[in-house]
Structure 1
Amino acid sequence: METLLIVLHVVVCLFLIGIVLLQHGKGADIGATFGGSSQSLFGSEGPLPLLNKITTAVAVIFMLTSVALAYISSHTGTDSVMSGLTKPEPVQTTQPPAPVQTEPVGPQPAGDTMPIEPAKAPEAKTDAPPAATPAAPEKTQ
């Protein structure tokens, strides 16, 4: 029903535009007034011509369809557009986490063919005194 009313409204609108553009304007008579024509600008027009009656009828139909469409649009569709949406659930992954890399891996220098050895942990200190080193021979004079 609403679609039919919209189509009727658009057709009536286009017809009304065409009829208004076809009518003879009152301002067009002003040139004939000074030329001695029998019609005057402010004189009585007599009975309404057929084109004016059609224009009035089409304007009334246009107003009625406008009011009907406004009434229909205000009384239908109280739901929000967003009411039908559901909240997406978070994605569950079954893959294990990636291993943590302990050593930085970078490009090797161009001339180095030896692989880089990992850093060694510092050795534990003992309470023993350092080994005795042989004393240097004394010089005699």
Structure 2
Amino acid sequence: MKVLLSIFHIVVCVALMGAVLLQQRKTGGFSGIFGGGTQADASGGQWQRFTTLTKLSVVLCAIFMATSLILVFLAG
């Protein structure tokens, strides 16, 4: 069980790295970090505006966190 979960975790890690590296770069630079966003950016329906790679990254990140927690509990 632990070995299969570890192998799955490694596959998810590699897939997450690939999904992040394949994404397009934003041209805004650091403008969004220091309050450059508007109230409209936080409105509902933003999930539909995400690209497929962004959605895939979010899902893979959630799976990565879940498998990390499960592996920690299995190790203890």
- With structure 1 as the length reference, what TM-score do the two structures score? 0.40
Residue identity opposite 1:17 in structure 2: M
Which residue matches 1:58?
60
Cα deviations across residues 75-112 of structure 1 (Å, max 9, x unaligned)? xxxxxxxxxxxxxxxxxxxxxxxxxxxxxxxxxxxxxx
Residue identity opposite 2:57 in structure 1: T
How far apart, in 2, do the equivalents of 1:49 and 1:19 lie?
Answer: 11
How far apart, in 1, do the equivalents of 2:53 and 2:19 lie?
Answer: 7
How far apart, in 2, do the equivalents of 1:63 and 1:9 lie?
Answer: 9
Residue identity opposite 1:69 in structure 2: L
Higher relative contact order (CA 8 A, sep 6+): 2
Q: Which 4+ stretches in 1 moved above 4 angstroms? A: 41-46
- Percent identity at matched positions? 35
Task: Verify: 1:48 aligned to 2:50, yes or no.
Answer: yes
Residue identity opposite 2:51 in structure 1: P
Deviation at 1:49, TM superposition (A): 1.0
Larger helix share, 1 or 2: 2
Residue identity opposite 2:70 in structure 1: A
Following superposition of structure 1 onto structure 2, how do residues 1-141 of structure 1 map, counting pairs within 5 Å? Answer: 1-26=1-26, 29-30=27-28, 47-74=49-76
Gaps of 5+ in 1: 31-40, 75-141
RMSD: 2.3
Larger radius of gyration: 1
Deviation at 1:50, TM superposition (A): 1.0
Deviation at 1:42, TM superposition (A): 5.5
Residue identity opposite 2:49 in structure 1: P
Residue identity opposite 1:54 in structure 2: L
